[in-house]
Amino acid sequence: MPTLDTHDASESSRARSARLEARITAEQKALFQRAAALAGRSLTDFVVSSVQEIAARLVREEQVMTLSDRDRKAFVAALLKPTGPGPRLRKAARHYNRVTR
């Protein structure tokens, strides 16, 4: 069973003390080894950098909202010319003020 470091190979100045273990099939290992060889990297470096790249992308996608052109224009317009509170919000504010006094 291969044991993988959890840090990117380019972080060689940092001490690598954390470990990640994974059970994989012989076919998966052969595929990963072939891909690592094509990339000119060790199996560990290839797997760690691949996982890190995918993880960073997924985290970025979760943190960033992408808007369509129409949505972007509506958002910017709302920022530049905000509308006042509507009737329901005004009513809720009056009710809140009465209740909390």
pTM of the model: 0.55
The arithmetic mean of pLDDT across residues 74-89, rounded, is 93
The arithmetic mean of pLDDT across residues 86-98, rounded, is 95
- Report in angstroms the alpha-carbon separations of 99 from 10, 58, 90, 93, 94: 60, 45, 14, 10, 9
Q: Rounded CA gap, 49 and 7, in Å?
A: 8
Q: Rounded CA gap, 19 and 12, in Å?
A: 15
Long-range (24+ apart) CB contacts under 8 A made by 25-34 are 29/2
- pLDDT 10s digits, 53-72: 999 999 999 999 889 999 99
Listed by start position, the domains of the chain span 3-63, 69-100
Of 100 and 13, the one with more pLDDT: 100
Residue 5 has what DSSP assignment? E
pLDDT for residue 48 is more than 70: yes
Q: What is the pLDDT of residue 65?
A: 87
The arithmetic mean of pLDDT across residues 9-16, rounded, is 63
Determine the angle formed by the axes of helices 26-39 and 43-63, rounding to 10 degrees.
90
Sequence-separated (6 or more) residues with CB below 8 Å from residue 52: 7, 8
pLDDT for residue 93 is more than 60: yes
**Tokens standing for residue 82:** 């905000």
Of 9 and 21, the one with more pLDDT: 21
pLDDT band at 6 (very low <50, low <70, confident <90, very high): very low
